[in-house]
Chains A and B, each alone.
Chain A
């Protein structure tokens, strides 16, 4: 498939935004359980703002994917059958809830509404945060299922796609939370950093699993089934157009196998070992800038990862577009 930058930015930006929100909310819950020092409301409010900015950035990027962005509202119509439609509905919901969560903190709606089992003081932020958490996970599933749900793209059509999208979102989001904590100089860097490393390690396992799966994939369709001629030797002589067509532009990445290998190496290095080393070094040296570098490096790596994700997938229609006369 042709890797479109609009979609690469959409999926990586909202992933990091979703992960950042989850990190903030996790921090709040840990603080509630007295496992972490409590943070002021501005910490959550500004953090939510950053998460919201990433979600908005992703949304803006997605518009560049559309031929007719002025009609984008129509995409909410078919949520019963289309994962894309579901994503289009859940993304604004997540944005609204993250905004409400930040706003509730900012306006100090932190008086307990009621107390559960006389120790858990439930306030508005906790409730909104819970709803937002559910929406965030729903969005991970919707975004990933847009790809994993297309059965013709066998490289994507696997639960591993959903797992990877979620884990990459969590890893980069918690890494961003560590960077944010380092930037404002609070004590949560190690907490967020540790979780980010944990998610990064699990993501490494699941991405390796999908790379291995795809390397051994045997595609269902062959040129024989494509044109229905049973003969071992079938070669294309003409594809009905002397120059390109939509079919040659949309479904081919147009890069050499060498480029693909380089990009794979790059993302395997930039997403996994390097950020973990950087955040580890940040922990050892108490550096306020290294966590920010770690996030930037991992995000850059994720751009390469998503590029590779697209380039890796081979669509059965390509069987009809193998050579020009």
Chain B
């Protein structure tokens, strides 16, 4: 068993949309046909994307924090979108756990999109079939590529390495360790969909300095050295 997934580090994502554009570029150029755009240079542009970066503001000014939030299919381990599909076009691969849509079988009934609480599925307005993130299945399984390139386009494009890719069921994988040691969490855990993708939380880097580190607690006279130096050698000079 293996379950491929992304782990997205919200602490380092800067919201540059490089993953969005690289995803679009790779997936619009593949054998599965384009991810169609409509009115791309006009009023009301719209189009099909597998991955979008959203931005949320947490808190009230001036105590606010900006969270850039990349969102794509989470490849749920218990995907509610799969059993509802009447044609079997939506399926979860047994070998690597990736949830895929067979574009040749999909009838565009949109029912699976109702059954995804995350809004990860989008109908292609021209091909009229359901589309969603494939974790670049055509790329990660392509043995003609060098191994370091067998990763989703978004992962390779991210300039801050906010996106990790790997098998979340292998306890020793980079992603499992990141989830375990850096507080990885799932979206909307209340639905029991068990998303395979995880997010790493925002963290503040703080140094904790105990007052005892500044004032010697074991100074019996509670009196620090008040010697005034005037250029002569001190203990620091000789020890360094």
Contacts and interface: CB of A to CB of B under 8 A. Distances in A.
Contacts of A247: 119, 122
B231 interface: no
A229 B56 contact: yes
A289 B80 CA distance: 49
Nearest to A89: B86
B191 A236 contact: no
A239 to B, nearest CB: 5
Interface string A289-320: 00000000000000000000000000111101
Interface stretch (A148-156, A186-194, A262-270): A148-156
A240 B44 contact: no
A236 B54 contact: yes
B117 interface: yes
B59 to A, nearest CB: 6
A71 B56 contact: no
Contacts of B140: none
Contacts of B106: 67-68, 71
A68 to B, nearest CB: 5
B44 A238 contact: no
A229 B58 contact: yes
A213 interface: no
Given A228-B199, A240-B49, A150 B109 contact: no
B190 A225 contact: yes
Contacts of B202: 229
Interface in B159-203: 185-191, 199, 201-202
Interface string B40-67: 0001111111001111111110000011
A88 interface: yes
A85 B84 CA distance: 8
A220 interface: yes
A238 B54 contact: yes
B86 A233 contact: no
B46 A83 contact: no
B108 A67 contact: yes
B interface SS class: loop
A66 B111 CA distance: 10
A66 B188 CA distance: 29
Contact of A238 (B47, B55, B128): B55
Contacts of B125: 246
Given A77-B88, A229-B58, A241 B49 contact: yes
A68 B108 CA distance: 6
Interface residues of A, number: 58
B54 A240 contact: yes
A77 B87 CA distance: 5
Contacts of B109: 65-67, 75, 84
Interface string A72-107: 101111100111110010000000000000000000
Contacts of A81: 83-84
A238 B53 CA distance: 8
A251 B113 CA distance: 9
Contacts of A246: 48, 113, 121-123, 125
B139 interface: no
B46 A227 contact: no
Contacts of A165: none
Nearest to A238: B55
B187 A227 contact: yes
Interface in A1-17: 1
Contacts of B113: 246, 250
B154 interface: no
A243 interface: yes
B123 A250 contact: yes
B105 interface: yes
A244 interface: yes
A236 B54 CA distance: 8
A76 B129 CA distance: 17
Contact of A239 (B44, B52, B199): B52
Contacts of B14: none
Given A66-B107, A246-B122, A78 B58 contact: no
Nearest to A84: B86
A84 B106 CA distance: 14
Contacts of A75: 86-87, 107, 109
A237 interface: yes
B54 A151 contact: no
A111 interface: no
B110 interface: yes
B115 interface: yes
A235 interface: yes
30 contacts: A65-B109, A68-B106, A74-B88, A74-B89, A74-B107, A75-B86, A75-B87, A77-B87, A78-B86, A81-B83, A82-B83, A82-B85, A82-B111, A84-B111, A85-B87, A150-B114, A150-B115, A225-B188, A225-B189, A235-B56, A235-B57, A238-B54, A239-B54, A240-B54, A243-B39, A246-B123, A250-B113, A317-B117, A320-B119, A325-B55
